Amino acid sequence: MESILKFLQMGGYAAYVWPCFILTAAVLVAMLVSSMRFMKKSENILKSLQGDDKETDGEA
């Protein structure tokens, strides 16, 4: 328990060290998630359009 506390305190620099790591993680994860959603959304629209296309003009 004591060593975990020591770890969290980062030798007194906790207020500087942890925000760095947390913000880095937050920004990079947010970028990752938004990119995944961008890709998924475009895939969905494409699939539905290609479905429409096949129906309307009957060619692959």
Partner 1 sequence: MLHRFANPKRFMRLSGLLLPWMAGLAIALVAAGLFMGLIVAPADYQQGDSARIMYVHVPNAWMAMFCYTAMAVASAVSLIWKHPLADLAAKSSAPIGAAFTFLALFTGSLWGKPMWGTWWVWDARLTSVLVLFFLYLGYMALYNAFDDPTRGSKAAAILALVGFVNVPIIKFSVDWWNTLHQPASVIKMSGPAIDASMLWPLLLMAFGFKFLYLWILFLRMRGEINTNKIRMIRLRQIHGQAG
Q: Using CB under 8 A, pick the residue from 57, 58, 59, 60 that binds partner 1.
A: 57
1's tokens:
């328990």
What sign does the CA torsion over 25, 35, 44, 54 have? negative
Please compute Rg for the chain using Cα positions: 24
CB of 9 to partner 1, least distance (A): 8
Distance of CA 15 to the CA centre of its chain: 25
Q: Using CB under 8 A, pick the residue from 16, 55, 59, 60 that binds partner 1.
A: 16
Q: Which is nearer to partner 1, 1 or 21 (CB)?
A: 21
CB of 58 to partner 1, least distance (A): 12
